[in-house]
Amino acid sequence: MPKKKEPTTTKQTPGKVQCTSIKSRRHPHQRCEATATKGDFCSRHAKSKVVWTTDSPPRPPFTRKQRLSALKIFNFWITRGRLNLRRQLGPAAFSPEIAENKHDIYSFESLETIPLVYRFSYIDVKGHVWAFDLRFLVQLLQHGNDLKNPFTQDLMPKEVIQRLQERSERLRGWKVPIVYTQEEGLTPEQIWNQKVLDVFLKLTALGFGVNMIWFESLNIRGHEIFYLRLWSLWNQVHASLTHEERERLVPGYKSGRTPLFKWDPFMVQGQGYDLKWWRKQNLGLMNAFLSRGQDRDTQGSGAIFVLTALAQTHPRAAESFPWLAGID
């Protein structure tokens, strides 16, 4: 008679007691291989306490026909499901490496870190693939302006916007949030990038197509020039602004607690302040011009100050706003 097959056992380390629980509900025929730290059980199985025995039922067998049927269903959903998702999410849904941009513009993390449910991509008129987090594009749409690619400032095609709206409605139907939720643990670089993005989103909301790279690419000297230009526009006679008009544009601009310009530009230029210091000063200054006004008109006037100084500082901004770059 053939010998009865002995149940498989796991090797134990001398001096250590193996957990007496089953490995899991999906694997009841296998014994947990962890060391018992809480009585006869490991910390993972200390509450469930389902004891493994040699009589634990084996995995139920499947016939060849059942396995082939399951494989056919699996392949169907993989093929049809991926094609359907690709139509909704775009060409970079499963291959983010083909996109021109390699990082998410909002978090500055790799595109692979964007959850699949939020990946959205499209091909522009030049044949370039661009990928974004859908929540970022929805945030841009909420400002009510034409949706532009923030990397190129080109308008997104209408069919792409329609696909974005359809995908957003589908997610809302599934009760999946389509806005950013408050997250903890962001790196200092991510926090900074979001602050810069918020300021440039305000410019976009006010109707000005701007590129945040103009600000990010400025060196120390560029930031010194930008600060000086903005200070001159605000203070020189040709601005023709009374105290009341300035107070309406930027409330509290002369306040000791919230002054608009904290430093005289001639006192801080060439004094050894690093790039991080200048970027922080100028971003706060831009935000004051764009957000302190009490209505859209005054905020729009503040945006003209910011764009004029930027056009007189950065050559790419000057190409986009030549009528502002020529203002002395």
Q: Would you state the structure tokens that stand for residue 188, as one six-digit string?
A: 């200092």
In a domain, 266, yes or no: yes
User: How deeply is 103 buried, as exposed, middle or buried, from its count of CB atoms within 10 A (0-12, 13-18, 19+)?
Assistant: middle
Residue 193 and residue 306 in one domain: yes
Q: Find the mean pLDDT for residues 89-101.
A: 93
Flag whether pLDDT at 17 surpasses 50. Answer: yes
In a domain, 213, yes or no: yes
At residue 328, the pLDDT reads 46
Picking from 183, 211, 239, the residue at the C-terminal end of a domain is 183
Helical H runs in the chain?
Answer: 64-89, 134-141, 158-173, 188-205, 213-216, 220-235, 243-249, 265-268, 275-291, 296-311, 315-320, 322-325
Taking the CA atoms of 231, 237, 239 and 240 in sequence, report the sign of the dihedral they define. positive
Q: How many independent structural domains does the chain possess?
A: 3
Picking from 183, 200, 217, the residue at the C-terminal end of a domain is 183
At residue 175, the pLDDT reads 80
In a domain, 292, yes or no: yes
Residue 244 and residue 170 in one domain: no
In a domain, 23, yes or no: yes
- Are 227 and 278 spatial neighbours (Cβ–Cβ below 8 Å)? yes
Residue 199 and residue 133 in one domain: no
Picking from 126, 154, 183, the residue at the C-terminal end of a domain is 183
Residue 174 and residue 212 in one domain: no
Residue 50 and residue 117 in one domain: no
In a domain, 12, yes or no: no
Radius of gyration for the chain, computed over Cα atoms and rounded to the nearest angstrom: 30
Residue length of the chain: 328
Rounded Cα distance between 116 and 26, Å, is: 27
Neighbours of 174 (CB within 10 A): 8
Residue 126 and residue 199 in one domain: no
In a domain, 232, yes or no: yes
Residue scoring higher pLDDT (139 or 183): 139
Least confident of 184-188, 258-262, 284-288: 184-188
Rounded Cα distance between 48 and 44, Å, is: 8
Residue 26 and residue 137 in one domain: no
Give the DSSP letter string of 69-118: HHHHHHHHHHHHHHHHHHHHH-TTSS-GGGSS--B-TTT-SBGGGS-GGG
Q: How confident is the model at residue 275 (pLDDT cuts 50, 70, 90)?
A: very high
303 CA to centre of own chain? 25
Flag whether pLDDT at 117 surpasses 70. Answer: yes
Residue 167 and residue 219 in one domain: no
CA proximity to 121, closest of 180, 164, 168: 164
In a domain, 13, yes or no: no
In a domain, 174, yes or no: yes
Flag whether pLDDT at 159 surpasses 80. Answer: yes
Taking the CA atoms of 310, 312, 316 and 317 in sequence, report the sign of the dihedral they define. positive
Residue 160 and residue 42 in one domain: no
Q: Work out the mean pLDDT of the chain and round it to a whole number.
A: 82
3-state secondary structure of 129: strand
Residue 260 and residue 287 in one domain: yes
Q: How confident is the model at residue 7 (pLDDT cuts 50, 70, 90)?
A: very low
At residue 169, the pLDDT reads 82
Residue 202 and residue 297 in one domain: yes
CA proximity to 273, closest of 227, 323, 304: 227
Rounded Cα distance between 38 and 163, Å, is: 55
Residue 232 and residue 262 in one domain: yes
* Domain, as residue range, for 171: 62-183
